[in-house]
Each structure stands twice: as C-alpha cells, then as structure tokens.
Amino acid sequence: MSAYHVKTPLVRVENLVKEFPISRGVLFRKNIGSVQAVNGVSFEMQDGETLGLVGESGCGKSTTGRLVLRLLEPTSGRVFFENRDLATLQPEVLRKARLDFRMVFQDPYSSLNPRMSVEDIIAEPMQIAGIRTLERRARARDLLEIVGLRDYHATRYPHEFSGGQRQRIGIARALTMNPKLLVCDEPVSALDVSVQAQIINLLKDLQKKLSLTYLFVSHDLSVVRHISDRIAVMYLGKIVEIASKKDLFNKRLHPYTQALLSAVPIPVPGAKSTRIILSGDIPSAINPPSGCRFHTRCPEVMKKCFNEDPVLMDIGNEHKVACHLITH
C-alpha cells in the first residue's frame, strides 16, 4: 500500500443540521419557530471502530444517530456510507443500502413486537428480503446462539425474557442481514449495572467476530469509556470535542468535557477526582445562546465567547476542540 494511501471512511458525516418545526393552532397550523436539535455536526468513522457519542439529554446525540441511519431526513448536510451520498440514492438502492446499517434501541421491550415469537422477530427482515422459510429459521437460531441465547428460546415471546435477554434479542434482530454499522442508542441504560457489563462485553465480542463498526450513543461516560475507541462530546446540538479515548481522558481541553469527565469514577483504589459542578441547566434548543452555546454555564467564559461561535479545531493527532481557550 502506498504511504499516501488514505483509507476511505465507512461513514462520513458533513455539516449535519436537523431542525424540528414548532407549530401552533388547531385548524390552521402556523410555524412559530424551530428546535435546533443538531447544528453543523461532522465526523468520520473507520471500518471496525467504535465512536462514542456522549452528552446530557437533549444535546442531539440520539437525533444524530437517527440522521446517520436516515431514519430522519436532515434539514441540511450529508451522510456518506462507503463514499456514497445517501441522499442521492434511488429509493430501491437506499432500501438495499440500509441493510448495511441497523439500530439497537434503548428499550428492547418496546421495540419488540409482543405478539411475535422470538424466531419471527429475528427472521422478519429476512422475510421482507424474500429469504426462504427454512433458511430464515436456521439463521434465526444461529443468531440466537451468537448472542448467547438457546435454541429453545426461539418459540418464546418477548414478555418471557429478562431485560438483558430482550436486549440480546434486539441485537440478534439488528444482525439479521449482516450489517456493517450498528447505531446503538443508549443500549444498556435501561438495564441493571451487572447486566450492562454483559451486554457491553457481548457487543465487544460481536465486533471482533463480525467486523462491526459501532456508533455508540450514551449519556453514561463510564459505559462509553469501556467500549469506545474514540469519543465525541456533544453540547446543545454541536460536537465540542472529539478525540481518541486516551486523549480525551488524559488531555480533556473543553471546559464542558472537563466537567462531564470529572463525574466519572477513577478505576484506581484510593484515587480521587475533583468534581466540577456546572451551574444552571442546559439552555433551550429553541433559542440557543449566541456565540459559544456553552457560555451560560462555562467557568472559563470570556468576552468573545458571548458573540463568537468557536470552530472545531484540530490540535493534532485528530483531537478536535471547539473553544476560544485553544487560540487565546
């Protein structure tokens, strides 16, 4: 391979924007504004890596995951999957391309049809793809084994399983058509801590065995730390810092990242971290603050932060930060 060969990323997201209109009135709906859920998000994902997407609830991380899968149409911006702009694909081509990227949901119970047996739930995407019954059954049972369930579970219904087992079924269903990318949206946050570790370890094993790429969306930095290769921190619709896991934990530069990470327990006996408590709540995405969106809560705020929006700057080693302190 040439020294100048640049690997094509599996996913490239360019300047993604998503606004949800707000309307009022019963008979005559009138647009009175919009919620800026995602504002200018860009990142790349290489084949086989896990990118963690973290931030407080309402920061736009789950919306970003849905935009990547095109479960939502972006207001503007583009998503490339293996160098193909998904917005330009014909519906039939997009339907086939979609088999390569699937979602693992937060609440497996509400995402599994209670009236279908586990085998039928897992086999459903194969039925839509026109795969024969016997082949579907065999594949569904293989998948059950791959996610750590048993053959006899195939004929049971979702209510007969524990939360962890239901998440295993959700993962099996996501794997049905051999996807390349899984967007995992808070996949363990509804589970007990002991079960969380089992599901995270399962996802890590599956990634190795099946060469999967994960976009892992979570508010829980301890979980994200365990599974991610790189981490992107989001605040009010924007990425404020993105780096390798090691760089983010060792050289956290953005004041918001510093506050978030200060709440993560250090896995060393006797070690203490100084918790940074942010004042105030996350501002409304309907009317976000001018300049740096974090300025209403930032302990380092300075004059230019009120009206100049900092750019996400590469400070080396693919570590990017959006904060005026970097250039100050």
Q: Which residues bind ligand SF4 (CB under 6 A)?
A: 254-255, 292, 294-295, 298, 300-302, 305, 310, 323-325
Q: In the 8-state DSSP scheme, what is residue 178?
A: -
- Pick 14 or 300: Cβ nearer ligand SF4: 300
Nearest distance, CB of residue 268 and ligand SF4, angstroms: 28
Q: Is 32 helix (H, G, I), strand (E, B) or coil?
A: strand
Partners of 103 in the β-ladder: 183
Nearest distance, CB of residue 301 and ligand SF4, angstroms: 4
Nearest distance, CB of residue 327 and ligand SF4, angstroms: 10
Could you tell me the two tokens for 95? 């339907």
Nearest distance, CB of residue 313 and ligand SF4, angstroms: 11
- Pick 140 or 321: Cβ nearer ligand SF4: 321
Nearest distance, CB of residue 61 and ligand SF4, angstroms: 18
Neighbours of 69 (CB within 10 A): 19
- Rounded distance, CA 158 to CA 114, Å? 6
- Pick 16 or 292: Cβ nearer ligand SF4: 292
Q: Is 89 helix (H, G, I), strand (E, B) or coil?
A: coil
Could you tell me the two tokens for 218? 């979570």
- Pick 86 or 253: Cβ nearer ligand SF4: 253
| Per-residue CA distances from 114 to 121, 156, 167, 176, 197 (Å) | 9, 10, 14, 19, 26
* Sheet strands side by side (includes 181-185): 101-104, 181-185, 213-218, 50-54, 230-235, 238-244, 320-321, 313-314
Asked if residues 211 and 292 have their Cβ atoms less than 8 Å apart, the reply is no
- Pick 191 or 236: Cβ nearer ligand SF4: 236
- Pick 72 or 276: Cβ nearer ligand SF4: 276
Kindly report the backbone phi and psi dihedral angles of residue 241, in degrees, each rounded to the nearest multiple of 5, phi listed first.
-160, 140
Nearest distance, CB of residue 142 and ligand SF4, angstroms: 49
